[in-house]
A and B are shown apart, each in its own frame.
Chain A
Amino acid sequence: MQKIKIEHLTKVFGPRPEQALRMLDEGASNAQIRKTGNAVGIADVSFEVEQGELLVIMGLSGSGKSTLLRCLNRLNPSSRGSICIDGDDITRFDREHLLELRRRKISMVFQHFALFPRRSVADNAAYGLEIQGVDPAARRQSAVEALELVGLKGWEDSFPDQLSGGMQQRVGLARALAVKSDILLMDEAFSALDPLIRRDMQQELASLQRRMKKTIVFITHDLDEALQLGDRIVLMKDGRVVQIGTPENILNHPADDYVKRFVENVDMSRVLTARSVMGRAPEVAFPQDGPRTVLRKMTESSDTSILVVERDRTLVGMAMLDELAKAVKDGRQSIDELIQRDAPAIGPDTPLTEIINLMATWPYRLPVVDEHRKLLGVVTRPQVIDALAQNSTTDAAAEQARNAAV
């Protein structure tokens, strides 16, 4: 279900916005418009955010991502275009509806926390409820619950300056969660934190999100963060959307050189998953097969192991060449008892780093299965190496192209 639908959203700043809009329509560049004393914040941005999705908007500073985010709760009034939230165009809201929207439906987490220094942690977390007019006991209760959710139980009566940066941002998050809004806007929420703390917070946000399923629009300039958190990523440059897609999609098919250059420095093994490197499963065996049949299947594909599945392709385990040969010699009728049922299997979203670790101790191919243990494909060492090599050659190619251009 669509939660937020943005269509042709444009924001220009300056003394004569009509002029800037007209120039945009005529195809003027940002630089040309800047000469007139106006500036383009965002230009003709359209995308949707699904209910329960964590969408990352990513771009360098000045790419318009913060401007875009602030249009979503109208801290920045947009110049043109529409933003529909649950079907209502919020760009047309009057003041009363706008306050209601900000109070109940959208809450925000800020880069530099923006905590109120003279309020206790609990009073900070309760701010949104206080504004709504909730009575003190009830809002204290909600604030305490929200603080517990972000791991700050017992800090209710401290003050922001007594907390570390990471903890302060937890308060910021609790303040946003306490109002129980469906939509969370996060403006570079973790950018001001130390790398280690940032990673903690990212993991915690991901696990909170698994439980709460809010609609989150998250802004960052850090590609690793975007890839780590985003269900989808919107890449922005000069106020325009360059590419929208899943993390893998963006890495594997960068829309243009700008995206490609962004993507170059990413550690591919952290980003690629089993799904993107796996191949089709070769010949498989069935539990009721005789050893001789299986052996013949294997000689055709010249493998040392074979996957065993039920008729509906539910994975059973794996059988090894030497044991099969032994079974034939012993004259057994079924392979059933020589199936290794504890052989490892991976899910389609397992990252390459984990696969590489597994392969160090497991020399055979790795079956990829879905949540019902249905066989989807296999990952072999050559495939992993291929995937890594391929991405590094595109890097090298991009490098060459850039050098040639200079």
Chain B
Amino acid sequence: MILDIPKFPLAHITDVALDWLTRNFSWLTQALSHITSVLINAIVAGLLFLPPWLLILIVAGIAWRAAGRRVAIFSALGLLFLWNLRLWEPTVQTFTLVLISTLIAVAIGLPLGIAAALSKRTSKVVMPILDFMQTMPAFVYLIPAIPFFGLGAVSASVATVIFATPPTIRLTALGIRQVPADLIEAADAFGSTRRQKLFKVQLPMAVPTIMAGVNQTIMLALSMVVIAAMIGAGGLGGEVWQAIQRLEPGKGFQAGLAIVILAMILDRVTQNIGRGSRKSGNP
């Protein structure tokens, strides 16, 4: 027997809602889109304006300071290899998208994470939303991004921000909540205000955990930026996407390897930030 219950029109409702949003708010999103795309293009142009060897030196220098000699050497060699493969421009594009998306994600995620750590109620609202954001297949974010922001890098970075923010929020909240109770008590006992407690005790103690969250956000952003090539984000993901469409395994592997190298550099460098923040003092 077939029950004749009509299908719940979830897809239809969603479409109508999105249409309405698009019609009424696209002026705002288009404006935002315009600003963001100008910013992205400016950064890409700026980075490409520098000779590649100089940029490689700068990256290696940063890697040296943050993570030591081995990571610096690896970064330099990896980037030189990408330059040699004639993948310099897409690499810079991808890096810029990751950078922008991560900055936005941290700018949103850090305050939200702090709020979730300090207020149980906020946490109860935020955490299920994060579950939703993380389990929804990433591709789905791409579809509505297009009517709002148009094809291209901006849509890609919006989808990326949605996909990549949760770890920063979660780990910021976790890091703050993990501060031992007796340190909180000590801070209170000396008459700290809530703000002093947050900035002098909780946040400094949470830095390693927060940085682990930021590191994850960067990795997720990188993976999403590649997927976002499907809506015209360009960069290394674009190379992969082209290779798929033209069935060129060699080119695909080359671009794929470039993503791996970029990922490793970003991971190793950011993993070590926040750990080595204590250098003075003798035993």
A287 within 8 A of B: no
Residues from chain A with a CB closer than 8 A to the CB of B282 are 157-158
When the two chains form their complex, are residues B281 and A114 in contact, meaning their CB atoms are under 8 A apart?
no
B281 to chain A, nearest CB (A): 5
When the two chains form their complex, are residues B190 and A107 in contact, meaning their CB atoms are under 8 A apart?
yes
Q: Which of B182, B192, B280 contacts A120 (CB 8 A)?
A: B280
When the two chains form their complex, are residues B281 and A162 in contact, meaning their CB atoms are under 8 A apart?
yes
Which residue in chain A gives the minimum CB-CB distance to B192? A131
Interface of B is mostly: helix
Residues from chain B with a CB closer than 8 A to the CB of A348 are none
Whole-angstrom distance between the alpha carbons of A33 and B280 in the complex? Answer: 53
In A80-116, which residues have CB < 8 Å from any B CB?
Answer: 98-104, 106-108, 110-112, 114-116
Given A108-B186, A114-B182, A118-B205: A158 and B191 interface contact (C-beta under 8 Å): no
Q: Which of B116-124, B196-204, B250-258 is the contact stretch?
A: B196-204
When the two chains form their complex, are residues B185 and A162 in contact, meaning their CB atoms are under 8 A apart?
no
Which residue in chain A gives the minimum CB-CB distance to B184? A114
When the two chains form their complex, are residues B182 and A110 in contact, meaning their CB atoms are under 8 A apart?
yes
A247 within 8 A of B: no
Whole-angstrom distance between the alpha carbons of A196 and B89 in the complex? Answer: 68
Residues from chain A with a CB closer than 8 A to the CB of B38 are none
When the two chains form their complex, are residues B183 and A114 in contact, meaning their CB atoms are under 8 A apart?
yes
A19 to chain B, nearest CB (A): 24
Whole-angstrom distance between the alpha carbons of A159 and B204 in the complex? Answer: 15
When the two chains form their complex, are residues A128 and B191 in contact, meaning their CB atoms are under 8 A apart?
yes
Residues from chain A with a CB closer than 8 A to the CB of B277 are 118
Whole-angstrom distance between the alpha carbons of A130 and B192 in the complex? Answer: 9
Give 1 or 0 for each of B191-233: 1 = CB within 8 Å of chain A CB: 1110010001100110100000000000000000000000000
When the two chains form their complex, are residues A131 and B190 in contact, meaning their CB atoms are under 8 A apart?
yes
Residues from chain B with a CB closer than 8 A to the CB of A107 are 189-190
Given A114-B183, A120-B281: A131 and B196 interface contact (C-beta under 8 Å): yes
A117 within 8 A of B: yes
When the two chains form their complex, are residues A99 and B193 in contact, meaning their CB atoms are under 8 A apart?
yes
Which residue in chain A gives the minimum CB-CB distance to B190? A128
B277 to chain A, nearest CB (A): 7
When the two chains form their complex, are residues B185 and A75 in contact, meaning their CB atoms are under 8 A apart?
yes
When the two chains form their complex, are residues B204 and A73 in contact, meaning their CB atoms are under 8 A apart?
no
B41 to chain A, nearest CB (A): 40
Residues from chain B with a CB closer than 8 A to the CB of A375 are none
Residues from chain B with a CB closer than 8 A to the CB of A158 are 281-283
Whole-angstrom distance between the alpha carbons of A100 and B189 in the complex? Answer: 11
A286 to chain B, nearest CB (A): 60
Which residue in chain A gives the minimum CB-CB distance to B193? A99
Residues from chain A with a CB closer than 8 A to the CB of B191 are 98-104, 128, 131-132
When the two chains form their complex, are residues A112 and B185 in contact, meaning their CB atoms are under 8 A apart?
no
B248 within 8 A of A: no
A80 to chain B, nearest CB (A): 22
Which residue in chain B gives the minimum CB-CB distance to A121? B281
Give 1 or 0 for each of B123-146: 1 = CB within 8 Å of chain A CB: 000000000000000000000000
B188 within 8 A of A: yes
A190 within 8 A of B: no
When the two chains form their complex, are residues B185 and A114 in contact, meaning their CB atoms are under 8 A apart?
yes
When the two chains form their complex, are residues B185 and A159 in contact, meaning their CB atoms are under 8 A apart?
no
B278 within 8 A of A: yes
When the two chains form their complex, are residues A118 and B189 in contact, meaning their CB atoms are under 8 A apart?
no
Residues from chain A with a CB closer than 8 A to the CB of B281 are 120, 157-159, 162
Give 1 or 0 for each of A46-82: 1 = CB within 8 Å of chain B CB: 0000000000000000000000000001010000000
Whole-angstrom distance between the alpha carbons of A150 and B283 in the complex? Answer: 18
Whole-angstrom distance between the alpha carbons of A75 and B189 in the complex? Answer: 7
A127 within 8 A of B: yes
When the two chains form their complex, are residues A157 and B280 in contact, meaning their CB atoms are under 8 A apart?
yes
Give 1 or 0 for each of B270-283: 1 = CB within 8 Å of chain A CB: 00000001101111
Q: Which of B182, B183, B189 contacts A73 (CB 8 A)?
A: B189
Residues from chain B with a CB closer than 8 A to the CB of A159 are 278, 281
Given A118-B278, A120-B281, A157-B281: A112 and B182 interface contact (C-beta under 8 Å): yes
A173 to chain B, nearest CB (A): 13
When the two chains form their complex, are residues A116 and B190 in contact, meaning their CB atoms are under 8 A apart?
no
When the two chains form their complex, are residues A108 and B205 in contact, meaning their CB atoms are under 8 A apart?
no
Residues from chain A with a CB closer than 8 A to the CB of B182 are 110-112, 114
Residues from chain A with a CB closer than 8 A to the CB of B192 are 131
A42 within 8 A of B: no
When the two chains form their complex, are residues B189 and A102 in contact, meaning their CB atoms are under 8 A apart?
yes
Whole-angstrom distance between the alpha carbons of A103 and B204 in the complex? Answer: 21
Whole-angstrom distance between the alpha carbons of A360 and B277 in the complex? Answer: 62
Which residue in chain A gives the minimum CB-CB distance to B283? A162
Residues from chain B with a CB closer than 8 A to the CB of A127 are 186-187, 190, 200
A179 within 8 A of B: yes
Residues from chain A with a CB closer than 8 A to the CB of B207 are 118
Which residue in chain A gives the minimum CB-CB distance to B201? A116
Give 1 or 0 for each of A10-26: 1 = CB within 8 Å of chain B CB: 00000000000000000
When the two chains form their complex, are residues B193 and A108 in contact, meaning their CB atoms are under 8 A apart?
no
Given contacts A116-B183, A127-B187, 13 further A-B contacts (CB under 8 A): A75-B189, A99-B191, A102-B188, A102-B190, A103-B191, A106-B189, A110-B185, A130-B200, A131-B196, A159-B281, A162-B281, A175-B190, A179-B190
8 CB-based A-B contacts, threshold 8 Å: A107-B189, A107-B190, A110-B185, A118-B204, A130-B200, A131-B191, A179-B190, A185-B189
**Top 6 A-B residue pairs of the complex, sorted by shortest distance between their CB atoms:** A102-B191, A103-B191, A114-B186, A114-B182, A108-B189, A128-B190
